Structure formats: C-alpha cells, structure tokens
Amino acid sequence: MIRTNQTTLVTLLISIFLASCSSYTQKHQTGYGNASYISEGIVRSFEIQANATMYIAETGKLPSSNQQLGLSSPEAYADTVLKSIQVLDGGIIRLTYTALSGVDGGIIDYKPEKIGNSRTVTWNCTTPSFKGIEAWRPDCHYTN
C-alpha cells in the first residue's frame, strides 16, 4: 500500500510538472507569437530585400510595388505562414502573417533607409503586431 501511494504521488508530481511546462510554453508563445513561424516569414523576405537593394543601387530610387521589382503579386507568396509579401510606397516590404504566427494578419515591415547621398541602404524592421519581438529578434522593434 505504501508503494502504491508513493507511485501515485510521483505520478501526480510528474503530471503537475508537465502541466506547468505546457502552461509556460503556451504563455511564452502567446507573448512572442510563434517565433519559428515568424522567423520563417522573415527569411522568405530576404530575397525581396536583395532585389529591392539592387533596384535602389541601380536607380537611386525606392521601389513602390512588387511589379516594379519584377516580382510576383503579393499573394503569390502566400503559404501556411504568410498571407502575402508586398512592396509598398517608400520601398517598405510588408510581411502579413497567418494565424500560425500567433497573430492572424500580423504585420512586419522592413523599411529601407538610405545612407547619406549614396545608393546604399540599411533595413529597419518594425512590427505593430508582435509585442516582445526584441527578446528573440533584436534587429526588429515593436511599435504601438
């Protein structure tokens, strides 16, 4: 009988521990969105950033559409992670996410900033959707 009670107690403690871990994981993902899915979308945007950077270097102008860069329509980039990747006025590259990111319709913008009078740019990442993104993506900033 003592052995049965000890086994039951150990089983109960393990169950509580596993439930706590699961709860922590859910809170972590809720706070940051699903980091792996968000990162997957960001990686998919690198090719478009490269095309935009080349366009800026060649023309000295900021692109304003996917078509201007010779890219497919924004929705052509849709998959389970992204709804679209769209080039907006001012060369902004907008990633719009599916619910897998933790925020259905969540947005990340990459905005090009020209360096002086050169045709060189740096990319600034901002999001109004993924609060706390800086904790795992320090190059991207949450904006209200």
Low-confidence spans in the chain with pLDDT less than 50:
12-13, 17-31
pLDDT in the model for residue 26: 43
Strand pairing of 93-97 and 82-87? antiparallel
* Confidence (pTM): 0.77
The answer to whether the Cα torsion of 41, 43, 47, 48 is positive or negative is: positive
pLDDT in the model for residue 116: 84
DSSP run (H or E) holding 114: strand 107-114
55 within 8 A of 63, measured Cβ to Cβ? yes
